[in-house]
Amino acid sequence: APTEEAVNQTLTALDWLRRAGAERFFWKYCSTFDSTPRGNIGPVAEALMRALGTTQTIYCPAFPENGRAIFMGNLFVGEQPLSESSMKDHPLTPMRDSNLMRLLEPQVTAAVGLANRLVVATGPEALRARL
């Protein structure tokens, strides 16, 4: 969806969920992320953060059951980097870059960083420090 429409739909859903008593929220976006600097993943996430009163979020489009994995900030489809997979020529969202930080940075106003597998494997304290 266009960015403004995606933000409005998401905030409407958030309002409904809050009124229904929800306290935790998970936003599912496409497991192949988004292909343009004007994509809606970053703006929707920032709108959710503002509405929820938080300053951080974690993006992790990994979905191993669908063959989507993240390694050192790069998205893989099966055993190939996204930009080398069949998705690189997708008719609606061609993906020419597998690096999630480079894909996300033009979409957001906040800093983008990486908590890679090595940090996560070290434990919660290391992850908290990295975030």
**Residue extents of the structural domains in the chain:** 3-130
Angle formed at CA 111 by CA 53 and CA 26, multiple of 5 degrees: 45
Q: What is the pLDDT of residue 39?
A: 84
Q: How far apart are CA 99 and CA 63, in angstroms?
A: 16
pLDDT by residue (tens digit) across 94-118?
Answer: 888 999 999 999 999 999 999 999 9
Using DSSP, state whether 42 is helix, strand or coil.
helix
Q: Give me the residue label for tokens 């894909």.
A: 103
What's the pLDDT score for residue 32? 74
Taking only the tens place, the pLDDT of each residue in 51-86 is 999 999 999 889 999 999 999 999 999 999 999 998
Q: Residue 30's pLDDT is what?
A: 80
CB-side exposure of 34: number of CA atoms within 13 Å? 22
* End-to-end Cα distance, the chain: 30
- The per-residue pLDDT for range 16-46, each reduced to its tens digit, is 999 999 999 998 888 777 667 778 999 999 9
Over 90: is that where the pLDDT of 88 sits? Answer: no
Contact yes or no for 40/34 (Cβ under 8 A): yes
The pTM score is 0.86
Q: What is the CATH number of domain 3-130?
A: 3.40.50.10840
83: closest CA among 68, 72, 94, 67?
94
Counted residue by residue, the chain has a size of 131
Taking Cα atoms as reference points, which of 124, 117, 110, 119 lies closest to residue 47?
110
pLDDT attached to residue 65: 94
